A = this chain, B = another copy of it.
Amino acid sequence: MKLSDLGEFGLIDRIRRTFSQRSTKAPIGIGDDAAALSFSSSSTVLATTDLLIEGVHFDLATTDLYSLGWKSAAANLSDIAAMGGKPRFCLIGLGLPRRITVEQIDGFYKGFRALAGRHHALIIGGDTCRSEQGFLVSVTVLGESPRTRIVARSGSRPGDLIFVTGALGDSGAGLEILEKRSGTRRMTGKMTAAERSLVERHLRPVPRVEWGRKIAASGCASAMIDVSDGLSSDLGHICEASRVGAEVLADRVPLTKALLSSKGLRRPALEYALSAGEDYELLFTVPANKLRKLRNLRIPVTGIGRIMAGRTMTLITAAGTRLPLEPSGYDHFRPRVRTKGARP
């Protein structure tokens, strides 16, 4: 169905009827001037917002709308996870080019709700408008956390150990595979199981909401961030906020078999972990005297290095060579600069 058949208020009504979830915690949702929401009285409210722009953050040649909705939710739920919070409510703004169909919009919301729903986060408001340019998405997620259990980026101290959940780099490698298959000199043929796994991690990343809450509740972490820009940049954000440096052991950075076994990737596997981003794993630091608390949580984490005095980040290769580790993730306003030293 064409958007022009439905009209703006028809679309809002359709979204409200189909995707708005009723709850006593959201007595007023989609369809009024603002949503009215109820939080636990002892909680701190967490708020995060992201803009996703066609041609900058995503390309409709490499993602379907369901996956785009899923990933839009993932990026924001992951920010709440990185504070140790529980996501509660989502607002979705969509800028819609004429070529987008009502069914595609449904797909977006279905994907968003599939992931948000896993975490009992409700879609309670938003905005829809025409875009003469690309497809635009803005997502705001509100969460909550007990006041004493929020983990900021700024608490790392020299000597703290650096951990990361899961494994890094799959998402960036998955994007490269998708791009190869959608370009003008299109790669064809069936994907291998490893390639499919990397692509899945790119299109449908799983934010570590439960792990983030457990880490925060245990009180073991001195700082935490989610890996959205790549390990080098996101560790850089922790070091910057905490005014410290770091040493990372290259051969400790967790990589999946899928990434290590995929043939035909343009870069060494570790580079995807260091600079590709969009893995949505949690990167956090733990003081030595709280390591037992972390172990008791029984979540899959890997120690990859430690926080140092000073303000430099160093990558130590398996051979013991020390290389400067510079933030090499994406910068929206700067041309991409390859820092040779940081790529072993």
Interface residues of A (CB under 8 A from B): 3-4, 6-9, 11, 27-28, 31-39, 41-42, 44-51, 53, 55-57, 78-80, 82-83, 85, 89, 91, 93-96, 124-134, 136, 138, 140-143, 145, 147, 150, 152-154, 224-226, 237, 241, 327, 331-335
* Inter-subunit contact B132/A55 (CB<8 Å): yes
A225 contacts which chain B residues (CB < 8 A)? 33
The answer to whether B133 touches A51, judged by C-beta atoms less than 8 angstroms apart, is no
Minimum CB distance partner of A45 in chain B: B37
The complex is assembled from copies of this chain, and their number is: 2
Give A93 to B94 CA distance when docked, in angstroms. Answer: 13
Q: Report Cα–Cα, A129/B228, bound state, in Å.
A: 14
In the A-B complex, list the 6 residue pairs whose CB atoms are closest, starting with the nearest. Answer: A133-B133, A138-B138, A41-B41, A34-B48, A33-B82, A130-B332
**Min CB gap A150→B, angstroms:** 5
Q: Decide if B131 touches A53 in the complex (CB within 8 Å).
A: yes
Whether the pair A47, B335 counts as a contact (CB closer than 8 A) is no
Residue of B nearest to A133 (CB): B133
B contact residues around A85 at 8 Å (CB): 34
**Chain B residues, Cβ within 8 Å of A36:** 44-46, 83, 145, 150, 152
Chain B residues with Cβ below 8 Å from A38 are 44-45, 147
Residue contact B131 to A48, C-beta cutoff 8 Å: no
* A152 vs chain B, min Cβ distance (A): 5
A140 x B49 contact (CB < 8 A): yes
Contact A95 B53 (CB under 8 A): yes
Q: Which residue, A51, A89, A334, A335, has most C-beta atoms of chain B within 10 A?
A: A51
Contact assessment for A93 and B49 in the assembled complex, using a CB-CB cutoff below 8 Å: yes
The smallest C-beta distance from A113 to any residue of chain B, in angstroms, reads 17
